[in-house]
Amino acid sequence: MTQLMLVSAICAFALAAAIVPLVRSCFRQLGFVDKPDRERKLHTDAVSLGGGLAVFLAVGIAFGLVLTIDRHLGDSILGFLRSKWYTLFGAAGTLMLVGLIDDIYTLRGRQKLLLQLLIVVAVVGSGTLVQKIGFFGSEINLGNFAYPLTVLWLLAAINALNLIDGADGMASTAGAIISGGLAVLCILSASPLGAVVAAALTGALIGFLVYNRPPATIYLGDAGSMVVGLFIGVISIWSSVKGSTLLSVAPLVVLTVPLFDSLIAILRRVLTGRSIYATDRGHLHHRLLDRFSHATMLVVVAILCATTTFAAILSVYFGHQIIAFTGVAVVLGALVFTRSFGDAELRMLASRTSHIGESILARSKLCESASRERAVQLQGNRCWDAIWTSLVEFAGDRGLAQLKLDIGIAWMHEGYHGAWQRSRMPDKSDQATLKLPIYVEQRLVGRLEVICDAKSPTLNDTFQLLLDRASELSEQIQRLIETNASSHSTPPQMISNTEETQLVFDRQASPVNIVETVNLGTNQYAPAKDYRP
């Protein structure tokens, strides 16, 4: 069995190493390349797409070769293919085509999610279903939740690998280690076909990594990352299912790093009021690249994935799930407590939770004059506080109910989010909302959103002032962009403005004005404080 697994990995590696240059050349001739756009895609030259097609072909051909060898030269120890295997490869091929369309023509997030859902439902309908979960020796019967939870798991696996694919070699490295671990888990659970496919996926990704390592000459793309996620999600179920029971949490532990990255990304976007489909540069690889070189970042990611994968294997081998959870605790603890990734988002969540509790317990009279402010430095080191403070002063003077400023300048690695709100908001029917895009050099760099009381007699004057303020805001941002960020200092004009507006803001502050500042770029966090006049 082990020999067939090694043959599968070696064949897939050789096939990927041979197919990738052909696919790369073909896609370049067809013009299917990922071009830099000076905003979000910051690579220097156009890079070929189609890596997912090469990986899929390498896995499929290697799997077929190993089956042929086993049938004619071996003892047929792999058994016969059941219908679910044909469904898996058909679903993977369909998902690969969806990814290619997205890579070349760009699908909306909702469109892509809907197509993913349809493909996953087909896989689950073919018999890939978890009805029970084994947890520390006891079984949890999922009952009516079996279908939705299985679908949710597969969608999570697909998108976790997709979201982590944001740097050269990132998804290839993580995917190769995770699939290699799954191959071992398949051997331990007597799932020979699963071990062969997982080994083929490992070999194909390593072969692809030869061309995808920095600087990459071909990208895996959504066509590849989603297919890898589907294979890993399905095989992780098959590798630990006996009958209808998921024996352990090992598959979840193996995917700890990509799942944690996805969870923190969703949490960050929800807490800052952004769409969950929005792209940003706050993922694990972006944060690690702030500290390390690209090569070192890949080594760190490899160590993290290897730690959780090895812990999962040991937990299955010895039959103690505590080993798997220990591995998870070590990896996540290392990321959070060293403030490398996730620390600020978790503190933001804790602060938001505490604020909800405070608002429930606060006295009615206090809510009339109380307000909350949150400033989040998502990325970068330019000082946005002067601009934000002047906007907060304007909101207080003009009686605004809510103010939000969202800045995202991907090509300069700068991101900022500010939110100010009165504790007692007008009723929904009495709210007037104004959303203003902010442009610098004809490029969208952010948005300003305000909510006012529609019954206010000065509403029209306030909106007109905001329209005038938007043009001034663009000029301020332009000056800030042109400053030398490496000095980590604020221009004199900005400093004086900050001091002046802060003094006015303090004098006109409400009885309780709660301010908190979170810096995700440098993982600095200042807890909420009460400022009283």
Whole-number pLDDT of residue 367: 57
Under 8 Å between Cβ of 240 and 246: yes
Task: Single out the residue in 325, 341, 357 at which a domain terminates.
Answer: 341
- Say whether both 297 and 376 belong to one domain: no
**Beta carbons within 10 angstroms of residue 410's beta carbon:** 18
Whole-number pLDDT of residue 518: 43
* Strands 132-135 and 245-246, sheet pairing: parallel
- Say whether both 62 and 24 belong to one domain: yes
Q: Which residues contact 184 (CB under 8 A, 6 or more apart)?
A: 195, 313
- Say whether both 12 and 152 belong to one domain: yes
- Say whether both 82 and 229 belong to one domain: yes
Read off the tokens for 211.
């061309």
- Say whether both 38 and 149 belong to one domain: yes
- Say whether both 370 and 350 belong to one domain: yes
Tell which residue, 162, 287, 178, has the closest CA to residue 239.
178
Task: Single out the residue in 341, 374, 399 at which a domain terminates.
Answer: 341
Structural domain tally of the chain?
A: 2
C-alpha span between 129 and 150 (Å, rounded): 6
- Say whether both 280 and 421 belong to one domain: no
The residues facing 246 across adjacent strands are 133, 241
- Say whether both 327 and 354 belong to one domain: no
- Say whether both 335 and 350 belong to one domain: no
- Say whether both 110 and 232 belong to one domain: yes
Task: Single out the residue in 299, 325, 341 at which a domain terminates.
Answer: 341
C-alpha span between 320 and 269 (Å, rounded): 36
Tokens 């799942």 -> residue: 259
Please measure the distance between the N-terminal and C-terminal CA atoms of the chain and give it in whole angstroms. Answer: 75
- Say whether both 331 and 350 belong to one domain: no
Per-residue pLDDT of the chain (533 residues; tens, 9 = 90+): 788 999 999 999 999 999 999 999 999 999 999 877 655 555 567 899 999 999 999 999 999 999 998 888 767 777 778 888 999 999 999 999 999 999 999 898 899 999 999 999 999 998 888 887 877 767 788 888 889 999 999 999 999 999 998 889 999 999 999 999 999 999 988 888 999 999 999 999 999 999 999 899 999 999 999 999 999 999 988 876 554 444 467 878 999 999 999 999 999 888 877 788 877 778 899 889 888 999 999 999 999 999 999 999 998 888 888 999 999 999 999 999 998 898 888 887 887 787 677 666 656 555 556 778 888 777 777 888 889 998 999 898 888 999 999 888 877 778 788 888 887 788 888 899 998 888 888 888 888 999 999 988 888 888 888 888 777 888 888 888 887 544 433 333 333 333 333 323 332 333 333 344 444 444 443 443 333 32
* Strands 513-519 and 371-379, sheet pairing: parallel
- Say whether both 319 and 245 belong to one domain: yes
Structural domain that includes position 468: 344-531
Tell which residue, 373, 375, 397, 376, has the closest CA to residue 501.
397
Whole-number pLDDT of residue 37: 65
User: Positive or negative, the Cα torsion across 51, 171, 524, 378?
Assistant: positive
Query: What are the C-alpha distances in Å from 401 to residues 421, 422, 446, 452?
Result: 6, 6, 20, 5
